[in-house]
Structure 1
Amino acid sequence: MARGGIQVTKAETIRGSCRCGAVQWHLKRMPESATVCNCTACHRYGALWAYDFEGDGIQVLGPTRTYTQGRWVEFHFCSVCGCVAYWRGLKDSENGRRPMGVNLRMADLDSVAQIPIVRHNGLTATEDLPQDGRCVTDYWF
């Protein structure tokens, strides 16, 4: 499918792992977008998030340590190399599923390069900013 003149390919799955390989995630579907957030946590982590639900679209494995932020999310880090791998909601959503986000920076660039970016203002509000045509590859430096 073409998006802004860029050819977007549909992969069946995307896989990611931390630097040492102890923590891995598997995203069953190609996400429609990836989110870059400017909240105090995401800004520091430098993550690019893709979302789905635990046990549905996202599978994770490997030992992690967690940091709980507020009453809604816990961030999971590799307990060996320290990479931020994913976040997990502390409560089920209205549909009874647990939301999660995986850090696309743990995937190979070729598998995620053309995913469009959504910029989320989580610092001063909780809103998405207008899309500007950038994709994951534009943030990969």
Structure 2
Amino acid sequence: MTAASLRLEGRCLCGDAGWTLTGDPGSVTACNCSMCVRYGALWAYDYEGERIALDGSTRTYARRGKADPALEIHFCPTCGCLLSWRGLRIEADGRRRMAVNIRLAPAEAVADLPIDHFDGADSFEDLPPDGRCVRDMWF
């Protein structure tokens, strides 16, 4: 299977909502910001209407107390699983950034994806790689 023909799918616990990411997801991100730490998500990125598609109904949450939140979180309204986030600002190139929670994909489909660590709590910078992949953080 080529990277272009790769297709990952994730579903919520009840199966009512999900996502598809077409093509090579590359490495996925573990972030230590206050949101990601609470959700325990591992993120694979692309853009709305391009390689990422959501299906089923979702509810959204944008952080309270922020005058200009940067993103909204998409959840299944039935079982509460975190599916994705979607940027609330259009980028200079006219695209909107999105990420899907790869923890909703079958473990065998994502176990070998490398993990990038991002310091969203303090420096807002990538951290040095440590060689771990999804299987190392699955449990």
Q: TM-score, normalised by structure 1?
A: 0.90
The answer on 1:64 being equivalent to 2:91 is: no
The CA deviation string for residues 71-98 of structure 1, in whole angstroms up to 9 with x for no partner, is 2100011000000000000011121111
- In structure 1, the partner of 2:117 is 119
Identical counterparts, % of pairs:
50
**Is there any run of 5+ residues in structure 1 with no aligned partner, and where?**
1-8
* Displacement after TM superposition at 1:67 (Å): 1.1
Aligned length: 133
* Displacement after TM superposition at 1:32 (Å): 1.3
- In structure 2, the partner of 1:51 is 45
The answer on 1:36 being equivalent to 2:34 is: no
The 3-state SS of whatever aligns with 1:110 is helix
Give the one of 64, 84, 87 matched to 1:86: 84
The 3-state SS of whatever aligns with 2:100 is strand
* Displacement after TM superposition at 1:125 (Å): 1.9
Q: TM-score, normalised by structure 2?
A: 0.92
- In structure 1, the partner of 2:10 is 16
* Structure-1 separation of matches of 2:53 and 2:59: 17
* Structure-2 separation of matches of 1:66 and 1:28: 23
